[in-house]
Amino acid sequence: MTILLASVGNIPEILLSLLIMLIAAKLLAEVFERLRQPAVVGEILAGILIGPSVLGLVKPSEIITTLAEIGVIFLLFTVGLETKPQAILRVGGRAFVVAILGVIVPFIAGYAITFVWDGSKIEAMFVGAALVATSVGITARVLGNLGLLDAPTARIILGAAVIDDILGLLILSVVSSLSKGNVDYYELFKTAGLSTLFTVVIATIGANLITKYAPKIEKLRIGEPFYIAGLVFCLGLSYLATYIGVAAIIGAFLAGMALAEATENNHDVHQKTNGVMEFLVPFFLVNIGMSLDLQVFKEISTVWLAIIVTILAIVTKFIGCGLGSYGVGWRRSTQIGVGMVPRGEVGIVVAQIGLGLGAISPPFFAAVLFMAIATTLVAPPFIKWAFANEDAAYDKIDDDDAGGILPKEKLSPLG
Amino acid sequence: MTILLASVGNIPEILLSLLIMLIAAKLLAEVFERLRQPAVVGEILAGILIGPSVLGLVKPSEIITTLAEIGVIFLLFTVGLETKPQAILRVGGRAFVVAILGVIVPFIAGYAITFVWDGSKIEAMFVGAALVATSVGITARVLGNLGLLDAPTARIILGAAVIDDILGLLILSVVSSLSKGNVDYYELFKTAGLSTLFTVVIATIGANLITKYAPKIEKLRIGEPFYIAGLVFCLGLSYLATYIGVAAIIGAFLAGMALAEATENNHDVHQKTNGVMEFLVPFFLVNIGMSLDLQVFKEISTVWLAIIVTILAIVTKFIGCGLGSYGVGWRRSTQIGVGMVPRGEVGIVVAQIGLGLGAISPPFFAAVLFMAIATTLVAPPFIKWAFANEDAAYDKIDDDDAGGILPKEKLSPLG
């Protein structure tokens, strides 16, 4: 039977790919849970295993990447739904310092090692830029699984990751411009201004706006009006974020945060959003694993470069963010330091842009790719360890420790 | 800023398309709800409006089609979750008669009109085949919105749609073989046997199997084990259905039905599944609308053909299924008759296969495409009308009326 009634597009083939990805991810997640290791590591390893490098059961495709991207958008949206804006704004000053130092230290390290390794100046800047941006999805997933998203340090990590993404964007645009020979300062300032404005506006007045319109949304005749409005808001801000130039997940996180107050007691909206997230996130994690091409490491010098870049990426982010959180105590500095380590898909994107511009050579590309996946694999056990028994340590960290970006009087009156 | 940190694949463009589709679908759904018309009609019209034929805001793509297909799979999965196997088996005999007559009458009509319109014999058989298969997604959505999925006639419609799909598959494979000049009777019997076996086995013992393994699933360490197991089961049976040759949605429906007992009191699993369904179904409905190319109707004779084929499709399905349900009363015969009218994507697929094999000419293709969308647009208001005040008429219809496919003693003991 070669003619299938259901064969619009490649539906059977796609269904099979999704099935294999989901089963592999959850099997290894179960094994890792039983070994008391983070499930995310199992799901990423499942991707390496079934991907082109090892078994070749599933071929990466645009459709899988799209589902993965929608998955991580929903992941950050659900994280946002559990985060009230003031919780982030209250630690804003601290998060800002953590982000700045967590950007400067890794950039310098990436620049230096590339220079030592006979790379060009532009190449050095690209590797530096790739070491900068934290991928908050992994940390959010680990903390979510542990039920610790509202721990004080979790909020600092989330806030710092948002700021970090904006800084990373600015560095990338400078580096890209330099590689093409000119820097458009007007464009640069516009991007910086727009992305900061976007974040601050949504974080400060988004919740008020939603709360104001909530009664009107509830009155709509369509089924599940609040869930549908949430979806529109999530997709809308995710798109707007990419339009301005920051990652879609930043928009999704801000959308969730703006909705946090209004949906706090709406169990069904949370369950529905979680349903989409739990369905799609495995594809995000497996897709990270599948993107690793082990072929690249035939040359032993590339292996060494990859290992050194990875160690630098881990150590410098840990030290930078740890220093940035000076004064909150060793335990919490450690939590923040390890929480910012995963680079995930953001590092990969920077490397891809560098390769596309002809600015970095294949060995550096391979090393950065390895670093992005390795930091993502290595961090979760440390995050789990650093946050062990956190329930006992739920004290408040706020502007008294570090100075906020907003005076307390200006916080949302709904807080 | 042309270099976007988030531009893996075409994420910004896809996000924008999804956003436009979702907003357009829900705006028109709201308008239709206020006019007391079915929301699905609004969502399909939204697709025609934003698609290439009118505004051209969104271009149909493989990614959108995939999301649409996953959407209709989840739609039938959630319908299955609300349908206990015995409820269908009890009306099995009745559903079988409805399906058979609902297949024969439209096929003859499609064959006849094509012959009258100077089509070839093969062409006549393809148009006949395209008129056969009911697309149960639309009816299920309308009844679900009305909260009437457990009405007795709703069960007959669901059961008949499953049988109807198998019959449609067999007709399509005969017609396809004939158009290539030979019929492989071995393949044909294999397909018939496998698809019937698949349906009967899952419908009769699926629930027992799930109930037996439920305690083991609950003991898994991964988060949300029952939801994840449900997803695996849904994707697995959907794939298996396409592998055998029936539509993926038949597998999804059977998977949901097998899980119905075990998840009956699991509000969270239902909410999570609904979350995915509510997110993706608008893309399914909008995508149907977008597939209509109004350009085809420049020739007035094609318009007439399309109108005649559509009227025949509606009248013959209504009469066939109405006759098949003889004896249950006028009101219920009417409900079953109109419930089976929508052809939706199944008719489109048959026409596409015919076009691909060079078996049907463009005017007939256009007419069938129009018929598929028009029956889908026309049926919902009639379904809504036929089921109005149904709450008052919740009496039992079972084998006493029409003879079931299983004696009552053999029904699942868990019922």
For the ranges A163-167, B105-109, B174-178, the one whose mean pLDDT is highest = B105-109
Minimum mean pLDDT among A168-172, B95-99, B254-258, B321-325: which range?
A168-172
Of B161, B139, B195, nearest to B88 by C-alpha is B161
At residue A150, the pLDDT reads 83
Tokens 């160690």: give the residue.
Answer: A311
How far apart, in whole angstroms, are the C-alpha atoms of residue B48 and residue B377? Answer: 11
How far apart, in whole angstroms, are the C-alpha atoms of residue A232 and residue B24? Answer: 11
Task: Please tell me the distance in Å from B284's CA to the nearest CA on chain A.
Answer: 13
Alpha helices in B82-119 (DSSP H): 85-89, 92-116
How far apart, in whole angstroms, are the C-alpha atoms of residue A284 and residue A72? Answer: 6
At residue A149, the pLDDT reads 85
Cross-chain residue pair B1–A187, CB shorter than 8 Å: yes
Structure-token pair, residue B409 = 């003693």
Structure-token pair, residue A159 = 């806030």
Residues 300-319 of B with CB under 8 A from A: none
At residue B396, the pLDDT reads 47
The backbone region for A358, taken as left when phi is positive above 0, alpha when psi lies in -120 to 50, beta otherwise, is left
Mutate to test the interface with B, among A125, A279, A352, A369 (most CBs of B within 10 A): A279
At residue B394, the pLDDT reads 53
Task: Please tell me the distance in Å from A205's CA to the nearest CA on chain B.
Answer: 22
Residues 84-143 of A with CB under 8 A from B: 133
Cβ-based contacts of B243 with chain A (< 8 Å): 12
Of residues B3, B222, B272, nearest to A30 (C-beta): B222
Task: Please tell me the distance in Å from B68's CA to the nearest CA on chain A.
Answer: 10
How far apart, in whole angstroms, are the C-alpha atoms of residue B219 and residue B225? Answer: 8
At residue A341, the pLDDT reads 92
Question: What percentage of chain B reaches a pLDDT higher than 70?
Answer: 91
Confidence of residue A194 (pLDDT cuts 50, 70, 90): confident
Within its chain, how far is the Cα of B53 from the centroid?
Answer: 24
At residue B186, the pLDDT reads 82
pLDDT tens per residue across span B259-309: 988 887 788 899 999 999 999 999 998 998 888 777 777 888 889 999 999
What structural domains and CATH numbers belong to chain A?
17-55+63-387 (1.20.1530.20)
Q: Per-residue pLDDT for B401 more than 80?
A: no
Asked whether the beta carbons of B162 and B250 are under 8 A apart, the reply is yes
Across B149-178, average pLDDT: 84
Cβ-based contacts of B268 with chain A (< 8 Å): 271
Minimum mean pLDDT among A272-276, A317-321, A370-374, B394-398: which range?
B394-398
The vertex-B70 CA angle with B68 and B72, nearest 5°, equals 70
Structure-token pair, residue A333 = 């500095």
Structure-token pair, residue B295 = 């350009």
Tell whether the torsion through CA atoms of A234, A236, A238 and A241 is positive or negative.
negative
Q: Does A361 touch chain B (CB under 8 A)?
A: no
Q: Does A187 touch chain B (CB under 8 A)?
A: yes
Q: Per-residue pLDDT for A102 more than 90?
A: yes
Confidence of residue B400 (pLDDT cuts 50, 70, 90): very low
Residue of B nearest to A16 (CA): B239
How far apart, in whole angstroms, are the C-alpha atoms of residue B207 and residue A366? Answer: 49
Instruction: Give the count of beta carbons closer than 10 Å to the beta carbon of residue B144.
Output: 19
Per DSSP, chain B holds a count of helices (H) and strands (E) of 17, 0
The vertex-A287 CA angle with A284 and A290, nearest 5°, equals 160
Structure-token pair, residue A189 = 């300032």
How far apart, in whole angstroms, are the C-alpha atoms of residue A375 and residue A311? Answer: 9
The HSE-up count of residue B16 (CA atoms within 13 Å, CB side) is: 12
Cβ-based contacts of B267 with chain A (< 8 Å): 271
Confidence of residue A9 (pLDDT cuts 50, 70, 90): low
How far apart, in whole angstroms, are the C-alpha atoms of residue B49 and residue B360? Answer: 28
Q: Per-residue pLDDT for A173 more than 60?
A: yes
Residue of A nearest to B36 (CA): A221
Tell whether the torsion through CA atoms of B404, B408, B411 and B414 is positive or negative.
positive
How far apart, in whole angstroms, are the C-alpha atoms of residue A171 and residue A174? Answer: 5
Cβ-based contacts of A164 with chain B (< 8 Å): none
Structure-token pair, residue B63 = 């990614």
Of residues B11, B23, B276, nearest to A279 (C-beta): B276
Of B68, B156, B216, nearest to B402 by C-alpha is B156
At residue B413, the pLDDT reads 36
Task: Please tell me the distance in Å from A327's CA to the nearest CA on chain B.
Answer: 33
Tokens 């015969």: give the residue.
Answer: B333
Asked whether the beta carbons of A118 and A360 are under 8 A apart, the reply is no
Question: What percentage of chain A reaches a pLDDT higher than 90?
Answer: 33
At residue A184, the pLDDT reads 75
Cβ-based contacts of B190 with chain A (< 8 Å): 1
Of B273, B250, B245, B47, nearest to B160 by C-alpha is B250
Of residues B26, B232, B272, nearest to A22 (C-beta): B232
Q: Per-residue pLDDT for B8 more than 50?
A: no
Q: Per-residue pLDDT for A288 more than 70?
A: yes
Across A211-222, average pLDDT: 88
Non-local (6+) Cβ contacts of A413 within 8 A are A208
How far apart, in whole angstroms, are the C-alpha atoms of residue B3 and residue B129? Answer: 50
At residue A412, the pLDDT reads 37
Q: Does A407 touch chain B (CB under 8 A)?
A: no
Task: Please tell me the distance in Å from B328's CA to the nearest CA on chain A.
Answer: 32
Question: What percentage of chain B reaches a pLDDT higher than 90?
Answer: 33
Confidence of residue A207 (pLDDT cuts 50, 70, 90): confident
Helix A330-339 with A300-324: angle, nearest 10 deg: 140
For the ranges A96-110, A161-175, B176-190, the one whose mean pLDDT is highest = A96-110
Across B340-357, average pLDDT: 79
Q: How high is the mean pLDDT of chain B?
A: 84
Cβ-based contacts of B284 with chain A (< 8 Å): none
Residues 244-283 of A with CB under 8 A from B: 244-249, 267-268, 271-276, 278-279
Cross-chain residue pair B9–A69, CB shorter than 8 Å: yes
Asked whether the beta carbons of A324 and A100 are under 8 A apart, the reply is yes
Q: Per-residue pLDDT for A379 more than 70?
A: yes
Distances (CA, A) of B391 to A126, B78, B137, B221, B322: 66, 21, 22, 43, 21
At residue B3, the pLDDT reads 33
Minimum mean pLDDT among A3-12, A255-264, A293-302, B352-361: which range?
A3-12
Distances (CA, A) of A203 to A59, A237, B62: 39, 12, 35
Cβ-based contacts of A276 with chain B (< 8 Å): 275-276, 279
Structure-token pair, residue B186 = 């071995």
Non-local (6+) Cβ contacts of A111 within 8 A are A124, A125, A127, A128
Cβ-based contacts of B63 with chain A (< 8 Å): 62-63, 66
Task: Please tell me the distance in Å from B234's CA to the nearest CA on chain A.
Answer: 9
Asked whether the beta carbons of A277 and A77 are under 8 A apart, the reply is yes
Q: Does B350 touch chain A (CB under 8 A)?
A: yes
Cross-chain residue pair A62–B9, CB shorter than 8 Å: yes
Phi/psi for A246 (5° steps) reads -85, 170
Q: Per-residue pLDDT for A414 more than 60?
A: no
Q: Per-residue pLDDT for B415 more than 70?
A: no
How far apart, in whole angstroms, are the C-alpha atoms of residue B72 and residue B288? Answer: 11
Minimum mean pLDDT among A218-222, A245-249, A306-310: which range?
A245-249
Size of interface A-B (CB pairs under 8 A): 214
Q: Per-residue pLDDT for A169 more than 80?
A: no
Q: Does B353 touch chain A (CB under 8 A)?
A: yes
Q: Per-residue pLDDT for B231 more than 70?
A: yes
pLDDT tens per residue across span A110-142: 999 998 988 888 899 989 999 987 878 888 888
Q: Estimate the share of chain B in helix, then strand, then coil, as percent rounded to the nearest 5.
A: 75, 0, 25
Name which residue leads in pLDDT, A107 or B143: A107
Say what the pTM is.
Answer: 0.84
Cβ-based contacts of B273 with chain A (< 8 Å): 275
Question: What percentage of chain A reaches a pLDDT higher than 70?
Answer: 91
Q: Per-residue pLDDT for A171 more than 90?
A: no
Cross-chain residue pair B243–A12, CB shorter than 8 Å: yes
At residue A391, the pLDDT reads 60
Of B140, B149, B136, nearest to B83 by C-alpha is B149
Q: Does B216 touch chain A (CB under 8 A)?
A: no
How far apart, in whole angstroms, are the C-alpha atoms of residue A224 and residue A226? Answer: 6
At residue B248, the pLDDT reads 87
At residue B229, the pLDDT reads 94
pLDDT tens per residue across span B234-249: 999 999 988 887 788 8
Find the helix or strand (DSSP H, E) in which A370 lies.
Answer: helix A362-386
Of residues B12, B62, B268, nearest to A242 (C-beta): B12
Structure-token pair, residue B237 = 């049976």
At residue A271, the pLDDT reads 93
Q: How high is the mean pLDDT of chain A?
A: 84
Q: Per-residue pLDDT for A48 more than 70?
A: yes
ipTM (interface pTM): 0.83
Helix A152-179 with A330-339: angle, nearest 10 deg: 40
Task: Please tell me the distance in Å from A246's CA to the nearest CA on chain B.
Answer: 6
Task: Please tell me the distance in Å from B138's CA to the nearest CA on chain A.
Answer: 16
Confidence of residue B180 (pLDDT cuts 50, 70, 90): confident
How far apart, in whole angstroms, are the C-alpha atoms of residue A81 and residue A84? Answer: 8
